[in-house]
Amino acid sequence: MTELDGRVAIVTGASRGIGRETAILLAAQGAHVVLTARKQAELDDVVAKIQAAGGAASAVPGDASSPTDVTRVVEHARAVPGRLDILVNNAGVGILGPLAAMSVEDFDTQMAINVRSVFLYTRALIPILEKLGGGNIVNVASISGLAGFAGASAYSATKWATVGLSRGLDKELSPKGIKVTAVCPAGVDTTWAFNTGIDPAEVANVERLKPQTVAESIAFAINQPANARLTELVVYPMSENGHQ
């Protein structure tokens, strides 16, 4: 018997990076994890790794900003035996650079993938969690959701929106037993924003968090005792000063 036996979790953006490690960790803790992202092949690789380790997982490809795709993923998860009461809103993109040079499309893409997706998945899960009398929603925001950084203003706006949504939802949903957590990591060692603002060579020698460390924070929030909730977790590597 492990911590999350009998529970079903949806993890968005689960094909690589933080989402991948979160899916692997939650499955190791006993949850059946429903992984979603746009690319089927990458999802299948993670599912195979989880199953090879004795865990339970399934993949449903989809765009987290699309209402019809979100409905499809949630319907799949509802059909999995167990208690669907964990949602990790992790899918996200960063298109960095000076705001004056940003296209309308790039601004809208970030808002859609980083914010609209959180709205869509959370809205779909709330009635399910209310019926169960509780559950966990973890939103992967960023320190960019608590501070501002030159060259990341539009991205930062999406993450402030995620933190704002999380804080409001905590007030709305905690009386119903539903715990909402915003996890705000500093730089993480993934390929996030590579080719859309981050030059891999520039971060090669910078200390960044391991995606597994962020996954541990997410799991820590989910595994709180019944009478406690973590509303915000800010995670820095030791070498970095805080920005708040």
What residues are annotated to the active site? 155
Q: How far apart are CA 64 and CA 132, in angstroms?
A: 24
Q: Is 121 in the site for ligand NAP (CB under 6 A)?
A: no
Q: Does 49 bind ligand NAP (CB under 6 A)?
A: no
The structure tokens 């765009």 sit at: 63
Q: Is 13 in the site for ligand NAP (CB under 6 A)?
A: yes
Q: Which is nearer to ligand NAP, 135 or 211 (CB)?
A: 211
Cα torsion at 195, 198, 200, 201 (round to 10°)?
120
Ramachandran region, residue 71 (left: φ > 0; alpha: ψ -120 to 50; beta: rest): alpha
Kindly tell me which residue out of 23, 37, 87, 182 binds ligand NAP, with binding defined by CB under 6 A: 37
CA–CA gap between residue 160 and residue 115 (Å, rounded): 10
Give the x/- contact pattern for ligand NAP in 171-210, rule: CB under 6 A: --------------x-xx-xxx------------------
# residues near ligand NAP by CB under 6 A: 30
**Distance between CA atoms of residues 10 and 200, nearest Å:** 30
CB of 16 to ligand NAP, least distance (A): 4
- Those residues with Cβ within 8 angstroms of residue 37's Cβ, 6 or more apart along the chain or in another chain: 12, 13, 14, 15, 16, 19, 43, 61, 62, 64, 91
- Is residue 4 involved in binding ligand NAP (CB under 6 A)? no
Q: Tell me which stretch binds ligand NAP (CB under 6 A): 2-10, 58-66, 126-134, 163-171.
A: 58-66
* Residue number, 42 or 130, with CB nearest to ligand NAP: 42
| Cα 202–Cα 205–Cα 208 angle in degrees, nearest 5 | 95
Tell me: does residue 25 bind ligand NAP (CB under 6 A).
no
Is residue 113 a contact point for ligand NAP (CB under 6 A)? yes
User: Which uninterrupted H or E stretch holds 91?
Assistant: none
Q: Alpha-carbon torsion 150, 153, 156, 160, what sign?
A: positive
CA angle in degrees (0–180, nearest 5) for 201-36-183: 65
Applying CB under 6 A, among 24, 50, 58, 65 the residue interacting with ligand NAP is 65
Q: Which of 30, 38, 76, 119 binds ligand NAP (CB under 6 A)?
A: 38
Give the three-state DSSP class for 176: helix
State yes or no: residue 217 binds ligand NAP (CB under 6 A).
Answer: no
Residue 26 binds ligand NAP (CB under 6 A): no
Q: Give exposure, 87-109, as e/b (b: 16+ Cβ within 10 Å).
A: bbbbbbbbbbeeeeebeeebbeb
With respect to ligand NAP, which residue has the nearer C-beta, 173 or 184? Answer: 184
Q: C-beta of 153: minimal distance to ligand NAP in Å?
A: 14
* Contact positions vs ligand NAP (CB under 6 A): 12-19, 37-39, 42, 63-65, 90-94, 113, 140, 142, 185, 187-188, 190-192, 211
